[in-house]
C-alpha cells in the first residue's frame, strides 16, 4: 500500500521484486517466490532440508498473501516520508511476528547465512546490511532518484526498530549498579519494596585503592524508577549506572 506506490524499495528480495514489478509488471509475490527458489535450493544443500521447510512455507504464504491483498487493498500514493514511516512500521510489525516464531521470509536472510558459513569473517548482520544496501542502490538507479534511496533507508531503519521493539521490547529489563556506603541498607529496601533479587559484588577502586561493595539489581523497566527512588532516598550521592538488558533468563524472568 505504501512502499511500492512511492517507488521505494522494501530491501532484500522484496526490493528486487519491486524493481521487476516496475520494469515488466510481474506480480511482486510471484517474483519473490521465483527469486527465492535458487536460494532455498542452495540453503537446503548446505544446511539440510529440515532447516529450510519452515522458511519455504512462510515464503510461499507471504508471497501469495502480497498478491491477494494487492487485489483488495488499493495502493494510494502518499508523501514519500509518510510512505517510509508507515510502510516501515507495517513491514517491521509483520516481519517481527515471523521472526518471533523462529522463521524467516527467505531471501536475504538465507543468503546472508550461506555467505557467513562460507566466509565466517563476514557476520550475518554485516552480510544483510551489505546486501540490503546493494538492493537500495539498485532501486535508486532504477528509479533515478536519490530521494528514493534516502527514503528507503528511513523505511528499513524504522522496520528494524519495530522488529526489535516487538521481539525484545517485552523482555527488555534494566540492570542497575550502585556503589554506596549504604549498599546493605539499599539492598534490604529493594528486597522488601520491589521484590527483586540483589547481588553484592566486591569491588576495589583503582584510584582510591579502597575496597567496597557494588550492588547489582535486574528489574523490569517499570520497576527501575522505584529502585532509583529507593537509592536516592537512602544515599543521594550514590554512584549509579543504569543499562539495558535485551533479554534476561532465570528465576523471576523468562
Question: From CA 186, how far away is CA 73, in angstroms rounded?
Answer: 57
Q: What percent of the chain has pLDDT over 90?
A: 22
Q: Which domains does the chain have, with CATH numbers?
A: 12-169 (no CATH), 172-245 (3.30.70.120)
**pLDDT at residue 182 is higher than 90:** yes
**pLDDT at residue 246 is higher than 80:** no
**pLDDT at residue 157 is higher than 90:** no
Largest CA distance in the chain: 73
0.85 cut: is pTM over it? Answer: no
Using 50, 70 and 90 to split pLDDT, how confident is the model at 201? Answer: very high
Residue 241: per-residue pLDDT? 95
Residue 125: per-residue pLDDT? 60
Residue 198, Ramachandran bin (φ over 0: left; ψ between -120 and 50: alpha; else beta): beta
CA distance to 6, 17, 70, per residue, from 24 (Å): 18, 10, 17
CA distance to 43, 91, 156, 199, per residue, from 98 (Å): 19, 11, 17, 37
Grid-cell match 527488555, residue found? 172
Q: What is the mean pLDDT of the chain?
A: 82
Amino acid at each position: 500500500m505504501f512502499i511500492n506506490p512511492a517507488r521505494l524499495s522494501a530491501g532484500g528480495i522484496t526490493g528486487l521484486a519491486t524493481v521487476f514489478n516496475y520494469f515488466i509488471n510481474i506480480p511482486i509475490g510471484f517474483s519473490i517466490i521465483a527469486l527465492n527458489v535458487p536460494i532455498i535450493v542452495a540453503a537446503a544443500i548446505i544446511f539440510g532440508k529440515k532447516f529450510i521447510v519452515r522458511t519455504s512455507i512462510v515464503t510461499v504464504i507471504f508471497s501469495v498473501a502480497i498478491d491477494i491483498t494487492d487485489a483488495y487493498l488499493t495502493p494510494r500514493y502518499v508523501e514519500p516520508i509518510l510512505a517510509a514511516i508507515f510502510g516501515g512500521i507495517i513491514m517491521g510489525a509483520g516481519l517481527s511476528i515471523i521472526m518471533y516464531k523462529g522463521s524467516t521470509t527467505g531471501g536475504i536472510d538465507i543468503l546472508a547465512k550461506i555467505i557467513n558459513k562460507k566466509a565466517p569473517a563476514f557476520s550475518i548482520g554485516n552480510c544483510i546490511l551489505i546486501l540490503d544496501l546493494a538492493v537500495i542502490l539498485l532501486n535508486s538507479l532504477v528509479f533515478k532518484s536519490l530521494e528514493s534511496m534516502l527514503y528507503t533507508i528511513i523505511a528499513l531503519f524504522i522496520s528494524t526498530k519495530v522488529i526489535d521493539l516487538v521481539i525484545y521490547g517485552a523482555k527488555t529489563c534494566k540492570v542497575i549498579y550502585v556503589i554506596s556506603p549504604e549498599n546493605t541498607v539499599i539492598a534490604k529496601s529493594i528486597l522488601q519494596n520491589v521484590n527483586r533479587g540483589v547481588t553484592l559484588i566486591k569491588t576495589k577502586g583503582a584510584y582510591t585503592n579502597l575496597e567496597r561493595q557494588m550492588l547489582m539489581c535486574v528489574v523490569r523497566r517499570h520497576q527501575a524508577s522505584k529502585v532509583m527512588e529507593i537509592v536516592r532516598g537512602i544515599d543521594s550521592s550514590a554512584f549509579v549506572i543504569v543499562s539495558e538488558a535485551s533479554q534476561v533468563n532465570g528465576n523471576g524472568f523468562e
